[in-house]
Amino acid sequence: MAFRIKPHKSATKEVRRIALERLLKAQQALLLPSQERARGIHQARKRIKEARALVRLVRTPMGKHYRQENRRLRDINRRLSAMRDAGALVETWDALAGLAPEQFATAQRQAVRKKLVLRSQDGGLTVEESHRLLGEALVELAEAEETVGSWPLQGKGFSLLRRGLARSFDDGRSALAAAEQAATDERLHDWRKQVKDHWYHTLLLRAVWPEAFKARARLLKELSELLGQDQDLALLQDLLKAEPGLFGTAGQRTELTSVVEQRRGWLQQRAFSLGKRIYAEGASPLCERWSLYWRIARRE
Protein backbone atom coordinates (compact mmCIF):
# COMPACT_ATOMS: atom_id res chain seq x y z
CA MET A 1 0.00 0.00 0.00
CA ALA A 2 1.12 3.55 -0.71
CA PHE A 3 2.69 5.98 1.76
CA ARG A 4 -0.31 8.26 1.36
CA ILE A 5 -3.29 9.41 3.42
CA LYS A 6 -6.45 9.34 1.32
CA PRO A 7 -8.81 12.25 2.16
CA HIS A 8 -11.99 10.27 1.39
CA LYS A 9 -11.12 7.65 4.02
CA SER A 10 -10.89 7.82 7.81
CA ALA A 11 -7.72 9.74 8.68
CA THR A 12 -7.35 7.74 11.89
CA LYS A 13 -7.49 4.41 10.06
CA GLU A 14 -5.13 5.68 7.39
CA VAL A 15 -2.55 6.73 9.99
CA ARG A 16 -2.67 3.33 11.70
CA ARG A 17 -2.46 1.50 8.35
CA ILE A 18 0.59 3.43 7.22
CA ALA A 19 2.34 3.09 10.58
CA LEU A 20 1.91 -0.70 10.55
CA GLU A 21 3.08 -0.94 6.94
CA ARG A 22 6.25 1.09 7.57
CA LEU A 23 7.18 -0.89 10.68
CA LEU A 24 6.59 -4.21 8.91
CA LYS A 25 8.66 -3.14 5.91
CA ALA A 26 11.50 -2.10 8.24
CA GLN A 27 11.50 -5.52 9.87
CA GLN A 28 11.48 -7.26 6.50
CA ALA A 29 14.44 -5.17 5.35
CA LEU A 30 16.50 -6.12 8.41
CA LEU A 31 15.81 -9.81 7.72
CA LEU A 32 17.43 -9.74 4.27
CA PRO A 33 20.39 -12.13 3.81
CA SER A 34 23.80 -11.00 5.07
CA GLN A 35 25.06 -10.31 1.53
CA GLU A 36 22.28 -7.71 1.22
CA ARG A 37 22.73 -6.28 4.70
CA ALA A 38 23.87 -2.82 3.62
CA ARG A 39 20.81 -2.39 1.40
CA GLY A 40 18.58 -3.83 4.11
CA ILE A 41 19.83 -1.40 6.76
CA HIS A 42 19.44 1.50 4.36
CA GLN A 43 15.87 0.51 3.53
CA ALA A 44 14.97 -0.14 7.18
CA ARG A 45 16.24 3.27 8.24
CA LYS A 46 14.14 4.93 5.52
CA ARG A 47 11.00 3.09 6.61
CA ILE A 48 11.64 4.01 10.26
CA LYS A 49 12.14 7.66 9.32
CA GLU A 50 8.82 7.58 7.47
CA ALA A 51 7.10 6.08 10.51
CA ARG A 52 8.67 8.69 12.76
CA ALA A 53 7.52 11.51 10.46
CA LEU A 54 4.01 10.08 10.62
CA VAL A 55 4.18 10.08 14.42
CA ARG A 56 5.20 13.74 14.34
CA LEU A 57 2.26 14.53 12.09
CA VAL A 58 -0.15 13.27 14.78
CA ARG A 59 1.89 14.41 17.77
CA THR A 60 -0.92 16.54 19.22
CA PRO A 61 -3.66 13.89 19.47
CA MET A 62 -1.10 11.31 20.66
CA GLY A 63 -0.34 13.42 23.71
CA LYS A 64 2.09 11.78 26.14
CA HIS A 65 2.33 8.72 23.88
CA TYR A 66 4.07 10.86 21.26
CA ARG A 67 7.33 11.21 23.20
CA GLN A 68 7.48 7.48 23.89
CA GLU A 69 6.95 6.40 20.28
CA ASN A 70 9.10 9.15 18.81
CA ARG A 71 11.95 8.25 21.17
CA ARG A 72 11.60 4.54 20.46
CA LEU A 73 11.90 5.02 16.69
CA ARG A 74 14.76 7.49 17.12
CA ASP A 75 16.71 5.03 19.25
CA ILE A 76 16.21 2.18 16.79
CA ASN A 77 17.65 4.26 13.97
CA ARG A 78 20.56 5.35 16.12
CA ARG A 79 21.44 1.71 16.69
CA LEU A 80 21.61 1.23 12.94
CA SER A 81 23.29 4.53 12.04
CA ALA A 82 26.88 3.46 12.74
CA MET A 83 26.48 0.57 10.31
CA ARG A 84 25.22 2.97 7.67
CA ASP A 85 27.71 5.83 8.23
CA ALA A 86 30.77 3.71 7.50
CA GLY A 87 29.31 2.63 4.15
CA ALA A 88 28.32 6.20 3.35
CA LEU A 89 31.97 7.25 3.49
CA VAL A 90 32.74 5.06 0.47
CA GLU A 91 29.78 6.55 -1.42
CA THR A 92 30.98 10.04 -0.49
CA TRP A 93 34.49 9.26 -1.66
CA ASP A 94 33.19 7.96 -4.99
CA ALA A 95 31.03 11.07 -5.44
CA LEU A 96 34.09 13.27 -4.96
CA ALA A 97 36.03 11.10 -7.39
CA GLY A 98 33.31 11.71 -9.97
CA LEU A 99 33.81 15.46 -9.61
CA ALA A 100 37.61 15.34 -9.80
CA PRO A 101 38.50 12.07 -11.57
CA GLU A 102 42.13 12.95 -12.28
CA GLN A 103 42.85 13.79 -8.64
CA PHE A 104 41.27 10.57 -7.39
CA ALA A 105 42.77 8.24 -10.00
CA THR A 106 46.20 8.12 -8.36
CA ALA A 107 47.50 5.03 -6.61
CA GLN A 108 47.47 6.88 -3.27
CA ARG A 109 43.81 7.81 -3.64
CA GLN A 110 42.88 4.27 -4.67
CA ALA A 111 44.65 2.97 -1.57
CA VAL A 112 42.57 5.28 0.62
CA ARG A 113 39.37 3.98 -0.98
CA LYS A 114 40.37 0.39 -0.25
CA LYS A 115 40.84 1.30 3.41
CA LEU A 116 37.41 2.95 3.51
CA VAL A 117 35.84 -0.13 1.94
CA LEU A 118 37.37 -2.30 4.66
CA ARG A 119 35.98 0.05 7.31
CA SER A 120 32.52 -0.12 5.74
CA GLN A 121 32.07 -3.84 6.25
CA ASP A 122 29.31 -4.11 8.89
CA GLY A 123 30.13 -0.56 9.95
CA GLY A 124 33.42 -1.62 11.48
CA LEU A 125 31.59 -3.90 13.92
CA THR A 126 32.27 -7.54 14.63
CA VAL A 127 29.82 -10.14 13.35
CA GLU A 128 28.56 -10.65 16.91
CA GLU A 129 28.04 -6.92 17.44
CA SER A 130 26.17 -6.46 14.18
CA HIS A 131 23.94 -9.47 14.91
CA ARG A 132 23.18 -8.11 18.37
CA LEU A 133 22.26 -4.67 17.02
CA LEU A 134 20.01 -6.14 14.34
CA GLY A 135 18.34 -8.43 16.88
CA GLU A 136 17.66 -5.56 19.26
CA ALA A 137 16.25 -3.44 16.44
CA LEU A 138 13.89 -6.23 15.36
CA VAL A 139 12.59 -6.69 18.91
CA GLU A 140 11.97 -2.96 19.32
CA LEU A 141 10.24 -2.69 15.95
CA ALA A 142 7.91 -5.54 16.92
CA GLU A 143 7.13 -3.77 20.20
CA ALA A 144 6.42 -0.52 18.33
CA GLU A 145 4.09 -2.39 15.98
CA GLU A 146 2.08 -3.74 18.91
CA THR A 147 1.36 -0.23 20.24
CA VAL A 148 -0.07 1.26 17.02
CA GLY A 149 -3.57 -0.03 17.67
CA SER A 150 -3.69 1.80 21.01
CA TRP A 151 -2.48 5.20 19.75
CA PRO A 152 -4.99 7.83 21.01
CA LEU A 153 -5.93 9.47 17.70
CA GLN A 154 -8.86 11.74 18.49
CA GLY A 155 -9.90 14.00 15.64
CA LYS A 156 -11.36 13.83 12.17
CA GLY A 157 -9.95 14.52 8.75
CA PHE A 158 -7.33 17.23 8.37
CA SER A 159 -7.84 18.41 11.97
CA LEU A 160 -6.06 15.23 13.10
CA LEU A 161 -2.95 16.31 11.19
CA ARG A 162 -3.01 20.10 11.15
CA ARG A 163 -1.12 20.98 14.33
CA GLY A 164 1.60 18.42 13.71
CA LEU A 165 2.06 19.71 10.17
CA ALA A 166 2.28 23.30 11.41
CA ARG A 167 4.74 22.44 14.18
CA SER A 168 7.09 20.56 11.86
CA PHE A 169 6.98 23.27 9.20
CA ASP A 170 7.67 25.97 11.79
CA ASP A 171 10.58 23.91 13.11
CA GLY A 172 11.96 23.74 9.57
CA ARG A 173 11.77 27.51 9.15
CA SER A 174 13.51 28.04 12.49
CA ALA A 175 16.22 25.51 11.62
CA LEU A 176 16.82 27.24 8.28
CA ALA A 177 17.17 30.62 10.00
CA ALA A 178 19.62 29.15 12.54
CA ALA A 179 21.72 27.50 9.81
CA GLU A 180 21.82 30.73 7.80
CA GLN A 181 23.07 32.57 10.88
CA ALA A 182 25.85 30.03 11.47
CA ALA A 183 26.22 27.06 9.12
CA THR A 184 27.64 24.63 11.67
CA ASP A 185 27.48 20.89 11.05
CA GLU A 186 25.02 20.51 13.91
CA ARG A 187 22.65 23.20 12.64
CA LEU A 188 22.75 21.93 9.06
CA HIS A 189 22.05 18.40 10.30
CA ASP A 190 19.11 19.65 12.38
CA TRP A 191 17.70 21.54 9.38
CA ARG A 192 17.96 18.42 7.22
CA LYS A 193 15.91 16.44 9.76
CA GLN A 194 13.14 19.04 9.56
CA VAL A 195 13.30 19.10 5.76
CA LYS A 196 12.89 15.33 5.63
CA ASP A 197 9.86 15.54 7.94
CA HIS A 198 8.19 18.08 5.66
CA TRP A 199 9.09 15.99 2.62
CA TYR A 200 7.43 12.94 4.19
CA HIS A 201 4.40 15.01 5.20
CA THR A 202 4.10 16.25 1.62
CA LEU A 203 4.20 12.67 0.37
CA LEU A 204 1.63 11.59 2.95
CA LEU A 205 -0.79 14.33 1.88
CA ARG A 206 -0.12 14.35 -1.87
CA ALA A 207 -3.53 12.82 -2.66
CA VAL A 208 -5.15 16.23 -2.03
CA TRP A 209 -3.48 17.59 -5.20
CA PRO A 210 -1.12 15.01 -6.77
CA GLU A 211 0.40 17.21 -9.49
CA ALA A 212 1.32 20.13 -7.22
CA PHE A 213 2.47 18.00 -4.30
CA LYS A 214 4.60 15.81 -6.56
CA ALA A 215 6.52 18.90 -7.66
CA ARG A 216 6.91 20.09 -4.06
CA ALA A 217 8.09 16.63 -2.95
CA ARG A 218 10.68 16.59 -5.74
CA LEU A 219 12.13 19.90 -4.56
CA LEU A 220 12.15 18.76 -0.94
CA LYS A 221 13.90 15.54 -1.91
CA GLU A 222 16.53 17.56 -3.77
CA LEU A 223 17.00 19.81 -0.73
CA SER A 224 17.31 16.81 1.57
CA GLU A 225 19.89 15.22 -0.74
CA LEU A 226 21.94 18.41 -0.90
CA LEU A 227 22.05 18.58 2.88
CA GLY A 228 22.67 14.83 3.10
CA GLN A 229 25.70 15.06 0.81
CA ASP A 230 26.98 17.94 2.91
CA GLN A 231 26.51 15.88 6.08
CA ASP A 232 28.41 12.94 4.59
CA LEU A 233 31.28 15.27 3.68
CA ALA A 234 31.27 16.53 7.26
CA LEU A 235 31.70 12.92 8.43
CA LEU A 236 34.61 12.55 6.04
CA GLN A 237 36.18 15.70 7.47
CA ASP A 238 35.74 14.34 10.99
CA LEU A 239 37.50 11.12 10.00
CA LEU A 240 40.24 13.12 8.32
CA LYS A 241 40.90 14.91 11.60
CA ALA A 242 40.57 11.81 13.78
CA GLU A 243 42.67 9.48 11.61
CA PRO A 244 44.86 11.63 9.33
CA GLY A 245 47.20 8.74 8.54
CA LEU A 246 44.37 7.04 6.69
CA PHE A 247 44.51 9.72 3.98
CA GLY A 248 48.17 9.78 3.01
CA THR A 249 50.72 12.54 3.32
CA ALA A 250 50.16 16.05 4.68
CA GLY A 251 50.10 17.41 1.13
CA GLN A 252 47.50 14.87 0.05
CA ARG A 253 45.35 15.68 3.07
CA THR A 254 45.53 19.41 2.32
CA GLU A 255 44.46 18.78 -1.26
CA LEU A 256 41.58 16.59 -0.13
CA THR A 257 40.48 19.17 2.46
CA SER A 258 40.33 21.82 -0.27
CA VAL A 259 38.19 19.62 -2.53
CA VAL A 260 35.79 18.83 0.32
CA GLU A 261 35.45 22.46 1.42
CA GLN A 262 34.74 23.65 -2.12
CA ARG A 263 32.09 20.99 -2.59
CA ARG A 264 30.45 21.77 0.75
CA GLY A 265 30.35 25.46 -0.14
CA TRP A 266 28.48 24.73 -3.37
CA LEU A 267 26.05 22.31 -1.67
CA GLN A 268 25.20 24.77 1.09
CA GLN A 269 24.74 27.66 -1.33
CA ARG A 270 22.31 25.63 -3.42
CA ALA A 271 20.51 24.35 -0.30
CA PHE A 272 19.95 27.82 1.14
CA SER A 273 18.69 29.14 -2.20
CA LEU A 274 16.17 26.32 -2.52
CA GLY A 275 15.26 26.27 1.17
CA LYS A 276 14.39 29.96 1.35
CA ARG A 277 11.84 29.47 -1.41
CA ILE A 278 10.26 26.37 0.10
CA TYR A 279 9.99 27.99 3.54
CA ALA A 280 9.01 31.45 2.27
CA GLU A 281 5.51 31.36 3.78
CA GLY A 282 4.53 30.72 7.37
CA ALA A 283 2.96 27.59 8.77
CA SER A 284 -0.51 29.13 9.18
CA PRO A 285 -1.07 30.06 5.51
CA LEU A 286 0.43 26.76 4.39
CA CYS A 287 -1.92 24.77 6.63
CA GLU A 288 -4.90 26.84 5.55
CA ARG A 289 -4.17 26.14 1.87
CA TRP A 290 -3.63 22.44 2.48
CA SER A 291 -6.84 22.26 4.50
CA LEU A 292 -8.73 23.72 1.53
CA TYR A 293 -7.09 21.21 -0.81
CA TRP A 294 -8.19 18.42 1.56
CA ARG A 295 -11.82 19.56 1.51
CA ILE A 296 -11.81 19.90 -2.29
CA ALA A 297 -10.32 16.41 -2.66
CA ARG A 298 -12.98 14.94 -0.34
CA ARG A 299 -15.79 16.50 -2.37
CA GLU A 300 -14.31 15.15 -5.60
| pLDDT (tens digit per residue) in 126-137 | 667 778 888 999
Q: Is residue 122 pLDDT above 60, yes or no?
A: no
Break the chain into its structural domains and give their ranges: 11-299
Q: Is residue 10 pLDDT above 60, yes or no?
A: yes
Q: Is residue 61 pLDDT above 90, yes or no?
A: yes
Average pLDDT, the chain: 92
What is the pLDDT at residue 121? 61
pLDDT in tens, 152-170: 998 889 999 999 999 999 9
Selected from 1.40.20.10, 3.40.50.300, 1.10.10.10, 1.10.150.450, the CATH number assigned to the domain covering 11-299 reads 1.40.20.10
What is the pLDDT at residue 126? 65
Q: Is residue 143 pLDDT above 70, yes or no?
A: yes
Percent of the chain exceeding pLDDT 70 equals 95
pLDDT in tens, 289-299: 999 999 999 99
What is the pLDDT at residue 150? 94
DSSP codes, the chain:
--S---TTS-HHHHHHHHHHHHHHHHHHHHTS-GGGHHHHHHHHHHHHHHHHHHHHHTHHHHTHHHHHHHHHHHHHHHHHHHHHHHHHHHHHHHHHHHHSHHHHSSHHHHHHHHHHHHHHGGGG--HHHHHHHHHHHHHHHHHHHHHGGG------GGGGTHHHHHHHHHHHHHHHHHHHH---HHHHHHHHHHHHHHHHHHHHTGGGSHHHHHHHHHHHHHHHHHHHHHHHHHHHHHHHHH-GGGG-SHHHHHHHHHHHHHHHHHHHHHHHHHHHHHTSS-HHHHHHHHHHHHHHHHH-
pTM of the model: 0.91
pLDDT in tens, 81-107: 866 666 678 889 999 999 888 888 888
